[in-house]
Amino acid sequence: MKATGDIQCIPIGSGVSVRAEVKRAHAILEQAGLNAMLHPNGTAVEGELEDVLEAVRTIHETLHAEGVVRLVSYVKIATRTDKDPSLEGKLFDTGS
């Protein structure tokens, strides 16, 4: 089942700048084969529901393996059965 979503990752206790971790999370989403669109507060994604969720897991496991002690992600997942959800469709719909 296809999904659109939004993923925002925040490392806690890594210092005031979180730039490196956020870049890393965005790269993982792109490597996961998701359609990933960066915006100021996170990354909008489009792909199979299980791939989106799997990418969240990969972000947490990878960043912890690289030394991040504490990580919080805010994830929005949207699915619908009446038509194929897409990021483009949502933008065309003015963010619906």
Binding footprint of its own copies on the chain (CB under 8 A): 1, 3-6, 8, 10, 12-19, 22-23, 26, 37-44, 49-50, 53-54, 56-57, 60-61, 64, 68-82, 87, 90-91, 93-96
CA distances from 6 to 13, 65, 87 (A): 23, 23, 10
CB of 45 to its own copies, least distance (A): 9
User: CB-wise, 33 or 50, nearer to its own copies?
Assistant: 50
Query: 1: which residues sit within 8 A by CB, 6+ positions away?
Result: 48, 49, 79
Dihedrals φ, ψ of 21, to 5°?
Answer: -70, -40
User: CB-wise, 31 or 76, nearer to its own copies?
Assistant: 76
CB of 4 to its own copies, least distance (A): 7
* Strand (E) or helix (H) holding 12: strand 2-12
User: CB-wise, 33 or 72, nearer to its own copies?
Assistant: 72
Query: 48: which residues sit within 8 A by CB, 6+ positions away?
Result: 1, 2, 3
CB of 32 to its own copies, least distance (A): 13
